[in-house]
Structure formats: structure tokens, C-alpha cells
Amino acid sequence: MAAINPRFGEELKKYGAFDFNACYNCGNCTAVCSLSTEEDSFPREMVRFSVLGLEDDIKSSLKPWLCYYCGECTANCPRTAYPGELMMSLRRWLTSVYDWTGLSGLLYKSLPLSIMAFVLTALGVIIFSAVEKFDLPAIMHYGHYFEMFAILTVFCVIFIPNLIRMWWFIILKPKIKVPFKKYLSGLWELIVHMFTQKRALGCDDNQLRWFEHFILVIGYLGLLFTTVALDWFSSNSLFVIAFGYLLSIIVFAVTVIFVSERMRKRKELSKFSQPSDWLFVIWLFLMGFSAFFVRLFIDAGMLENNIWIYLLHLTILVQWALIIVPFGKWTHFLYRSFAMYFAKIKA
């Protein structure tokens, strides 16, 4: 018999859900959802499970990840139970369930704690720079190695164990048998979803939003590659320099659109933003923006007298790499791609 957690609804509210208890189970939301199918029917079922506190059933479900948050269900709910926002908060909650450190949950639930983490990392950068006597070449050298170290550490220490936990909840615990061959043949699905998020094209509203996301993912991954592997800030190659400028412009231009949409709140999906949503788009914008100006100051021969711009960029980078990527909204990108993979191999 499925275990019931009577406090689950209260817990979910800390992740941004509200008013889902108003649901009277009419099924309108599922009927209008263009991504819901007979085999994978949502969001009504997830609303029901949440109301009943069926925590374990939600833990083993991929359905929260199959929703791409177009907001159609919320717009058509006769009880204003906000099913789209419930699906979003389930994704946040699942992120905290997969995370073995428990930090995702703490940061999602507490804005003061998030602010404290940002302040502490900024202080860390300032103290480190003071120890290095604000020697720009030394700080830039360590900054470059920090990026590589952070990527490797976050991947090995946080992401791999968390993905194993996700696998445990979705496949192993419910005793689903998946032949090894399927794990291999499904890998292509994982790669395709990771880079294209093609399922989002199935949302009625979504062609432009999909394109913006696609450009952002390409711009972000390209900028990461250019700064880490091609050492953009030290490169003398005209091609690498121009490529880095282009990618940083793409990142901050698309994030400006996202921030302005969240501020204007015209679309259903922009109406409700949790602090984690704001932090994600603002820090992504700041990353592209500050990287662009660091390289511009290098090319103008002005960086040595304006070390603050590099310190600002480094602070944003450290906060991004140590807080938002491992414990914030960035993880949705990873878990959603793996959810598509698990859905494929389970079928």
C-alpha cells in the first residue's frame, strides 16, 4: 500500500505550489495539455497525488519532467488550482529529493540562506584576491583553473551521485527490468534532448520559446567551451576572440528577453517566479555580460587598471558554479534530459 504523507502539501508550498487543494478532479487540465498522452497522462494525476500526499508515487514518477510549462492547464482550470505551477514546484521538490547533500532543498526553501551563500562566496573571492595581493595575472590563472576544477568536482561529487539516486527512484526501487542493451540504445535520446529539448516543440505556444531556449543552451555551452577549453581571456586567436564575443552577446541578449518576460508577466509561465527562477536568469545574464566586458577591457588594454571587472566576473562565476549549477535551477536541464532517457528505456 502506498505511504501517505499528510504534510506533503505543506512541504510543497515551500517549493512554490499554491491552491492545488482547490482541485475537484474534473480533468480539464489533462484534456488541454498538448504533451499529455494516454500512457503518460498529466497534470491531473499529479495534482491528485499531491492532494493525497502520495509522496513515494511522485518520487518514482517522470511526469513532472514531461511538462514544459506552457501554462495552458492553469489558464483552463475552472477552480484556479494552478496545475502548471504545481508541476513546476514538483520539479523543484524532485530536484531536492535527488540531491544527496540536501542543499538544493535548503536553498529552494530559504531565500535568506541563498543570500548568505552568495555573500559567502563573494567574500571568498575577495579574501582569495587579497591573499594574492590583487595580482591580476595570478588571479586570472587561478580563475581559469577554478572553472575546470569546479566542472569536474560538481560533475563527480554532485551530479553523478544525484543521477544514480534519480535512477534508483525511477527504475530500481519500483523493480523495473531494463535490459542493458536498452540503456545503450537510449543514449541517443539523452543527447538529443539535452541539446535540443525537442519535446518542448509539442507545446502549442512553444515554437519561439523553444528557439530561445535552444539558442541559449548553444550559447551557454559554447561560451563554457570557449572560456575553459580555448582559454578565451588569454587567447590571441582572432577567431576564438570573435567567437567568444558572439557567444557572450547571445547569452546576455537571450537572458534579457527572459528577464523582461518575467517582469512583464504577460505569459502564464512568467506570472509566478520563485527566487530560484530569478537567480538563474539574472546570473546567466551577468555571466555573459561580465565575460564580454572582461574581454573588451583586455582588448582595449584597460584591464590592468580595472581589475574590479575581472573580480566581478570571477565572483559571478564562482556563485554560478558552486550554487546555481549544482543546487539551483540549472539542474532542471540535467534531470529533464535524463527523465527523457529513463522514459525511453522504461517504455
Stretch that binds ligand SF4, among 40-48, 129-137, 244-252, 324-332 (CB under 6 A): 40-48
DSSP conformation letters of 210-255: HHHHHHHHHHHHHHHHHHHTS-TTT---HHHHHHHHHHHHHHHHHH
Rounded-to-integer distance, Cα 31 and Cα 43, Å: 9
Question: CB neighbours of 53 closer than 8 A, spacing ≥ 6?
Answer: 4, 5, 6, 7, 8, 9
Q: Which is nearer to ligand SF4, 17 or 298 (CB)?
A: 17
Tell which positions 179-208 bind ligand SF4, by CB under 6 A. Answer: 203
Distance in Å, CB of 10 to ligand SF4, minimum: 19
Say how many residues touch ligand SF4, by CB under 6 A.
Answer: 29
User: Is the dihedral angle over the CA atoms 218, 163, 114, 233 positive or is it negative?
Assistant: negative
Residue placing its CB nearer to ligand SF4 in the complex, 66 or 291: 66
Per DSSP, 40 falls in state S
Residue 321 in contact with residue 154, Cβ under 8 Å? Answer: yes
Nearer to ligand SF4, 90 or 241 (CB): 90
By CB under 6 A, residue 43 contacts ligand SF4: yes
In order of 13, 33, 92, 151, 195, the CA distances from 54 in angstroms are: 15, 22, 17, 36, 33
Cβ closest to ligand SF4, residue 73 vs residue 287: 73
Asked if 217 and 211 touch (Cβ cutoff 8 Å), the reply is: no
Round the CA-based radius of gyration of the chain to a whole number and report it. 21
Q: From the CB of 197, what's the least distance to ligand SF4, in Å?
A: 13
Residue carrying C-alpha cell 523543484: 92
Counting contacts by CB under 6 A, is residue 29 touching ligand SF4? Answer: yes
Q: Does residue 37 touch ligand SF4 according to CB under 6 A?
A: no
Cell numbers representing residue 265 in the block: 508577466
Residue closer to ligand SF4 (CB basis): 51 or 279: 51
Residue with cell 536541464: 333
Q: Give, for 293, the enclosing helix (H) or strand (E).
A: helix 275-299
Q: Which lies closer to ligand SF4 via its Cβ, residue 25 or residue 260?
A: 25
Instruction: Considering only residues 127 through 186, tell me which ones interact with ligand SF4, judged by CB under 6 A.
Output: none
Q: Mask 59-98, x = binds ligand SF4 (CB under 6 A)?
A: --------xxxxxxx---xxx-x-xx--x-----------
Q: Which of 47, 58, 94, 241 binds ligand SF4 (CB under 6 A)?
A: 47
Task: Find the part of the chain contacting ligand SF4 (CB under 6 A) among 29-37, 116-124, 221-229, 311-319.
Answer: 29-37
CA distance 138 to 152: 21
Q: Choose the stretch contacting ligand SF4; rule: CB under 6 A; options: 34-42, 127-135, 227-235, 258-266.
A: 34-42
Binding footprint of ligand SF4 on the chain (CB under 6 A): 23-29, 33, 35-36, 42-44, 47, 67-73, 77-79, 81, 83-84, 87, 203
